[in-house]
């Protein structure tokens, strides 16, 4: 910039004013500056600018698992609105691990991002301290966090799972195995609540033996489903608290030589783009992924622009049960024991 100023025979303050449109500069100087810029091939140094202005126009985005199509969709959506607003996004994944999570948050904060959108892997103290002590706006994605009074956008998880459970109940299922997410995450807890609520409303006793906790990964789903399938009294249906675990569950079903839905019904949180072309065509509750991303980005943008109210906002979106053919009706009465 100093070279441009010299070449155009003006001060650097004028060049800066021209570039940023901060104040009027005469036609004559505009011409000379433009000429100098294109001759020199000048490009503004964003680092120096950031140092002076204190903003990087970059936001950090931490998801819980970058390989999970749910998060991928949300990332794409967030990306779109943030880019349109002139922000770049620094992405990372905590791999559903709190230690990793702390590291990643530090990494981003250290890069001086202007704000953060995070899907917490858990509610550990370090992470809480980190987000409480930073002065940058943070919005929670997919999962809330106790003690953190900040913007968040989540699904009405209890309702979503309740809907799915009711559907299974409606088909006559009474022993519904539940592959739960980690109780260390709000999604894990809230979804379980939905299951219990639906059971309670139907007057069915909650049976802890039908619930297995995992950490939302495929391997967890496999293990959990295996335990349920090899138990003395096998459930007639399985509900998985997320998309990755249901794949593990299907693998377990296959390995046990069972057929879905003939031998066991399966339903799950989170939809797949391929769900209605491969068999069994899974019944799922689809999340409004696009909207979740848009809203999270919007909340953050409003904080960054200072157009947000002081009070934290909690946005709750709604899932949609997509019935396909992975659940079969069951004969009335208690569990049918094959002859």
Partner DNA sequence: AACGCTAATCTAAACGTTTCGGTATTGTCA
Partner DNA sequence: TGACAATACCGAAACGTTTAGATTAGCGTT
CB 280 → a second copy: shortest distance, Å?
7
Q: How far apart are CA 202 and CA 81, in angstroms?
A: 43
Residue whose C-alpha is closest to residue 62's, from 122, 12, 17: 122
Residue whose C-alpha is closest to residue 128's, from 110, 144, 115, 107: 144
Name the binder of 89 from a second copy, DNA, none, CB < 5-8 A by kind. a second copy
CB 206 → DNA: shortest distance, Å?
54
Is the CB of 86 or the CB of 333 nearer to a second copy? 86
Residue 199 vs residues 170, 187, 203, 283, 333: alpha-carbon distances, Å: 11, 18, 6, 19, 16
Choose which of 6, 7, 19, 85 interacts with DNA (CB under 7 A): 19
- Examine residue 7 and tell whether it contacts DNA (CB under 7 A): no
Is the CB of 88 or the CB of 323 nearer to DNA? 88
Q: How far apart are CA 230 and CA 93, in angstroms?
A: 34
The interface region with DNA, picked from 46-54, 90-98, 242-250, 307-315 by CB under 7 A, is 46-54
Q: How far apart are CA 249 and CA 212, in angstroms?
A: 12
Applying CB under 8 A, which residues contact a second copy?
43, 45-48, 50-51, 56, 58, 66-67, 69, 72-73, 75-76, 79, 83, 88-93, 103-104, 107-108, 110-112, 218, 247, 250-251, 253-254, 272-274, 276-280
Whether residue 120 contacts residue 140, with contact meaning beta carbons closer than 8 Å, is answered with yes
Q: How far apart are CA 339 and CA 337, in angstroms?
A: 6
Choose which of 53, 183, 279, 316 interacts with DNA (CB under 7 A): 53
- Examine residue 38 and tell whether it contacts DNA (CB under 7 A): no
- Examine residue 20 and tell whether it contacts DNA (CB under 7 A): yes
- Radius of gyration for the alpha carbons in the chain, expressed in angstroms and rounded: 26
Is the CB of 25 or the CB of 81 nearer to DNA? 25
CB 197 → DNA: shortest distance, Å?
51
- Examine residue 25 and tell whether it contacts DNA (CB under 7 A): yes
Q: How far apart are CA 19 and CA 306, in angstroms?
A: 24
């Amino acid at each position: 910039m100093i070279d441009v100023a010299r070449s155009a025979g003006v001060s650097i303050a004028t060049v800066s004013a021209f570039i940023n449109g901060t104040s009027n500069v005469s036609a004559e100087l505009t011409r000379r500056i433009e000429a100098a810029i294109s001759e020199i091939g000048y490009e503004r140094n964003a680092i120096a600018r950031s140092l002076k202005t204190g903003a990087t126009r970059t936001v950090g985005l931490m998801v819980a698992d970058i390989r999970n199509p749910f998060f991928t969709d949300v990332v794409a959506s967030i990306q779109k609105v943030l880019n349109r607003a002139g922000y770049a996004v620094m992405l990372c994944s905590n791999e559903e691990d709190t230690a990793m999570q702390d590291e990643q948050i530090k990494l981003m904060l250290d890069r001086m991002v202007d704000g953060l959108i995070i899907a917490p892997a858990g509610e550990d103290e370090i992470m809480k301290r980190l987000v409480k002590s930073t002065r940058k706006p943070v919005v929670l994605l997919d999962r809330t966090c106790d003690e953190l009074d900040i913007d968040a956008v989540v699904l009405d998880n209890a309702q979503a799972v309740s809907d799915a459970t009711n559907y299974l109940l409606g088909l006559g299922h009474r022993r519904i195995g539940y592959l739960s997410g980690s109780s260390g995450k709000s999604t894990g807890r809230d979804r379980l609540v939905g299951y219990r609520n639906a059971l309670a409303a139907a007057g069915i006793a909650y049976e802890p033996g039908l619930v297995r906790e995992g950490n939302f990964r495929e391997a967890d789903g496999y293990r959990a489903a295996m335990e349920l399938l090899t138990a003395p009294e096998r459930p007639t249906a399985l509900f998985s608290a997320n998309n990755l675990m249901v794949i593990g569950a299907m693998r377990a079903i296959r390995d046990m030589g069972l057929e879905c839905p003939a031998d066991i019904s399966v339903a799950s949180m989170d939809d797949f783009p391929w769900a209605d072309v491969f068999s069994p065509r899974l019944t799922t509750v689809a999340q409004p992924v696009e909207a979740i991303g848009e809203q999270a980005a919007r909340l953050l943008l409003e904080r960054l622009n200072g157009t947000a109210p002081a009070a934290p906002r909690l946005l709750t979106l709604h899932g949609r049960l997509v019935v396909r053919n992975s659940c079969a009706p069951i004969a009335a009465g208690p569990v049918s024991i094959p002859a």
